[in-house]
Amino acid sequence: MKRTTLLHAELSEVIARLGHGDMLVIGDAGLPIPDGPRRIDLAVSANLPGFVDVLKAVLSEMQVESAVLADEIIARNPAVNTATLQLLGNTPVARMSHEDFKALSARARAIVRTGEFSPYANVILRAGVVF
């Protein structure tokens, strides 16, 4: 469920249409995007926009019930893992293998591709409700 106004029109519209339980994926430039989910490509160049910046903007707009991270982010990208957990605050976070993460991504409403060029900078956000 949408909270305020996001600058990127396509992303804002997707967030506004999310229903309870719908999934939105934010991924790095290397995350494979399966056929099915809507693709929103924000990448301008390497690391622009960064994963953390996009996540922060999306979280300002979206009510998030839970999130999913790949297990591999802990060892392979600890800085992004820490930043992601800080931004998510008290949101429940599940972990799974990167292969399972990619399979679950295929069921998302949309996948947002950032310009991030660091490994495993990906998150699945499950939409909640504001009440």
From 41, 46, 50, 35, select the one nearest 11 (Cα to Cα): 41
Looking at the DSSP bridge assignments, the partners of residue 73 are none
> In the annotation, is 8 catalytic?
no
110: left (phi over 0), alpha (psi -120 to 50) or beta: beta
**Catalytic one among 3, 20, 39, 56?**
20
Instruction: Compute CA 57 distance to the chain's CA centroid, rounded to the nearest angstrom.
Output: 11
* Cα first-last separation, the chain: 10
**Beta strands 110-113 and 93-96, pairing class:** unpaired
Catalytic residues: 20
